[in-house]
Amino acid sequence: MIISVASGKGGTGKTTVATNLVVSIGEGAQLLDCDVEEPNAHLFIHPDIDSVETRYAPVPEIDLDKCTYCRKCAQICRFNAIAVAGETVLVFPELCHSCGGCMAVCPEKAISETGRELGVIEKGRKNGIGFVHGRLKVGEAMSPPLIKQVRACAEPDKFVVIDAPPGTSCPVIAAMKNTNFVLMVTEPTPFGLHDLKLAVEAVKVLNIPAGLVINRADIGDDGVKDYAKAENLPILMEIPFDRRIAEAYSQGKLAVEVLPEWKARFVKLHDQIKSLAV
């Protein structure tokens, strides 16, 4: 089973929920930190990293000895990654989405693929828990290709938890797509409610069952609960605004380790997810 822990808004406690859930499950679980622009789950899991791999995305390379400057490659590219001017072909690797369309339409077979560095993927383990995260190369504009490569590291016999990026843009869709369940984390504030609505609409498009965790549940107002009831979105857990949890977080510790009673609550959350997932 693969679940994605997502949030429309940053800073709601998404990583807190994902890491505590994985540690509560223990051996047999795997955590994939797909927030490749700023991964931070390792600060709480403290995995022993045993593999670091540089990852690449295929981009076109033009053989000018074969090219007839027919422009078919430029015409098919919807991202303007190739431009033909006279007898000059310009390739913009940063714009390429690695679809392979230019290679497919080239009548002279003048296009081959070379690699553009995306970043690195680090793999490790901690107490039987599998761990994988990606680190996007500084200056790289597109994170979905690296997110997909992190997701490809999922072990089929594990309960896989994906820590998704915040927001509702392409990186989040790449982290949520083709999962069995989306666990959304929000806070009971107007900002939290606004961005939760955006995330819920994205999940509806993907047609994935979802549930809600309300963090810092005893502050703010009842807007999130009212919205969840109206949308028939089950509230699976409420986490109070607890100084002890905040102190543990600030020290890189998990609530389930500092406050043992929370382990049973996260185990219950795991059971609820299994009963609701497709």
Report the C-alpha gap between 186 and 200 in whole angstroms: 11
Q: Are residues 98 and 138 in the same domain?
A: no
Handedness of CA 151, 158, 20, 202 (dihedral sign): positive
On whether both 146 and 222 belong to a single domain, the answer is yes
Q: Are 171 and 143 in contact (CB under 8 A)?
A: yes
CA distances from 109 to 68, 74, 86, 90, 240 (A): 10, 14, 19, 17, 61
95 shares a domain with 217:
no
Please report, as a single letter, which amino acid is at residue 124. G
Q: How far apart are CA 105 and CA 103, in angstroms?
A: 6
Q: Are residues 40 and 68 in the same domain?
A: no
Q: What pLDDT was estimated at residue 130?
A: 97
Q: Are residues 234 and 138 in the same domain?
A: yes
Same domain, residue pair 201 and 182: yes
Q: Give, for all 278 residues of the chain, the pLDDT tens digit.
A: 999 999 888 889 999 999 999 999 999 999 999 999 999 999 999 999 999 999 999 999 999 999 999 999 999 999 999 999 999 999 999 999 999 999 999 999 999 999 999 999 999 999 999 999 999 999 998 999 999 999 999 999 999 999 999 989 999 999 999 999 999 999 999 999 999 999 999 999 999 999 999 999 998 899 999 999 999 999 999 999 999 999 999 999 999 999 999 999 999 999 999 999 87
Rounded to the nearest 5 degrees, what angle is found at the Cα of 236, between the Cα atoms of 230 and 242?
110
Its pTM stands at 0.91
The pair phi, psi for residue 95, each rounded to 5°, is -95, -15
Q: Report the number of distinct structural domains present in the chain.
A: 2
Q: Do 31 and 166 belong together in one domain?
A: yes
User: Hey, what amino acid is at 4?
Assistant: S
Nearest-angstrom CA–CA distance, 39 and 37: 6
Residues 20 and 87 in one domain: no
Strand order in the sheet with 129-136: 48-62, 111-126, 129-136, 29-33, 159-163, 2-6, 181-186, 210-215, 235-239
CATH of the domain at 200: 3.40.50.300
Dihedral Cα 269, 20, 2, 132, nearest 10 deg: 180
Which residues constitute the domain of residue 94? Answer: 64-109
**For residue 220, what pLDDT is reported?**
85
Same domain, 36 and 73: no
